[in-house]
Amino acid sequence: MSLHLSYPLPIIPCRNGFRTKSQPPAAKSVVSCSAINRYSAGCKRQYTSVMIVPTGVGAAIGGYAGDALPVARALACVVDCLVTHPNVLNAAMLYWPMSNVLYVEGYALDRFAEGSWALQPVHQNRVGLVLDAGMEEELRIRHLQVADAARASLGLPVMEYVVTETPLMVEKWIDPKTGQSTGRIRHPASLLRAVQALMKRSKVNAVAVVGRFPDDDVEETDNYRQGMGVDTLAGVEAIISHLVVKEFQIPCAHAPALSPTPICKSLSPKSAAEELGYTFLPCVLSGLSYAPQYMSKSSESLGKDCILANDVDSVIVPIDACGGDGALAFARSKQYKPLIIAVEENETVLSDSPESLGIEAVKVSNYWEAIGVVAAHKAGIDPYSLRRNRINNIRSISITSPNGHAVSSAPQRFN
């Protein structure tokens, strides 16, 4: 049974209370501020955070099949804008689109951090697909079906595809000195010609690449499936996307094509996303569909809504992975100084700690604490004021006069 209430005139909520439908609406109150936030109504500019988890370094969180995605989701609920890269957001068949997260390829993220590139948010990109000529027919058909499914079921703008003239011949290995995964493609020119053809003929402004990877060594595969060791695919995947982004300055991400592996009964949840199907392409197509465009900072077409490095307020990195180009650029910038947050629980095979590089950073035990620090920082609160006995008496400094004598810096009292 439903209960119907009737009024002589409909009551409509408004900013200052309620009015009836016959009454004219009150004049809208207007918020005026010279530094108004681009994305929210208020006088504080948007808070932008960057989350970095390097690829192929065995990160405890972010070194597997999208296992850093929950961190990104949580951060996105705290900040106004989160800038991160495919290694954090990609989970093979799984993904989670977020309207305030920018999907930025690693090479582009480094150039952004250095201040040479800006990020131009978009509503939608025209995505092209490059398939390695070295793929078997069945794998090629599987990936084309993924593209069609993304177009039909998700409405993604995947325009056309092209097959490279020659097989890319992907090679991968673990660097014996650093423990990182790396590799190369023997025919990079074939990849670049394929991308160029898509850009010229299909007018795409983002590219997904699927390379045929050599099938993994059994022992390496078992370690990764158990949530241990280093992702042997990740290093050369980054090399492929870096090559395209450096050459064409458009968003690019890579998905490896592999033969199906036998079922594993004791699979780690961190690696499980890669066991759901024949392809890692869905998350790549989703991410590229809304990835920001990369603009040279000196470009005359730089829009007012472009995001620059000096818009970044905080950077979150693993405790021993502070030596990448992007992290170093943020930490050593003289024009702007974002808060660097180093997460101790997220260890990698690297040894680039803040102390070893002379970087001033806030150390936190885990991402729970990192998100708390970001929340305090966004609120304009010294994060240390949330800790017991971490705020000391304010210190005094001395001012040196032109004649070289020290002048007291004690505050003066004004009547």
Phi, psi for 312 (deg, rounded to 5):
-80, 130
Q: Give the single-character DSSP code of 354.
A: H
What span, in angstroms and rounded, lies between the C-alpha atoms of 78 and 47?
Answer: 9
Percent above pLDDT 90 for the chain: 69
> Which range scores top for mean pLDDT: 14-18, 74-78, 96-100, 390-394?
74-78
Q: Which helix (H) or strand (E) holds 243?
A: helix 234-248
pLDDT at 23 over 50: no
Query: What are the residues whose beta carbons fall under 8 Å from the beta carbon of 9, sequence distance 6 or more?
Result: 20, 21, 22
DSSP sequence for 244-293:
HHHHH-S-EEEEEE-PPPPP-TT--GGGGGGGSSS-SHHHHHHHHHSPPE
**Sign of the torsion angle spanned by Cα atoms 16, 21, 26, 30:** positive
What is the pLDDT, as a whole number, of residue 263? 78
Domains of the chain: 116-296 (3.40.50)
Q: Give the number of C-alpha atoms closer than 13 A to the C-alpha of residue 369, restricted to the C-beta side.
A: 16
pLDDT at 15 over 70: no
273 neighbors 231 (Cβ within 8 angstroms): no
What span, in angstroms and rounded, lies between the C-alpha atoms of 272 and 64?
Answer: 9
What span, in angstroms and rounded, lies between the C-alpha atoms of 286 and 126?
Answer: 12
Output the CA angle 238-241-242, nearest 5 degrees.
80
172 neighbors 182 (Cβ within 8 angstroms): yes
Cβ-based neighbour number of residue 358 at 10 Å: 8
Confidence (pTM): 0.84
pLDDT at 198 over 70: yes
118 neighbors 307 (Cβ within 8 angstroms): yes
What span, in angstroms and rounded, lies between the C-alpha atoms of 103 and 303?
Answer: 19
Cβ-based neighbour number of residue 412 at 10 Å: 5
Exposed e or buried b per residue across 67-78, where buried means at least 16 C-beta atoms within 10 angstroms of its C-beta: bbbebbeebbeb
| 3-state DSSP assignment of residue 41 | coil
Tokens of 72: 């990104």
Identify the weakest region by mean pLDDT among 10-14, 348-352, 370-374: 10-14
> Residue 315: beta bridge partners?
50, 340
Q: Give the single-character DSSP code of 197.
A: H
Output the CA angle 246-250-239, nearest 5 degrees.
40
What is the pLDDT, as a whole number, of residue 272? 82
Tokens of 408: 């007291």
What span, in angstroms and rounded, lies between the C-alpha atoms of 74 and 78?
Answer: 7
What is the pLDDT, as a whole number, of residue 410? 41
What is the pLDDT, as a whole number, of residue 262? 74
Tracing tokens 């439908």 back to the chain, one arrives at 21
Position with higher pLDDT, 120 vs 44: 120
136 neighbors 272 (Cβ within 8 angstroms): no
- CA-to-CA separations, 337 to 43, 196, 302, 309, 328, in angstroms, rounded: 21, 38, 23, 10, 11
Short-list 233, 223, 291, 226, CA closest to 258: 233
pLDDT, tens digit, for every residue of 232-276?
A: 899 999 999 999 999 999 999 999 999 877 777 778 888 888 778
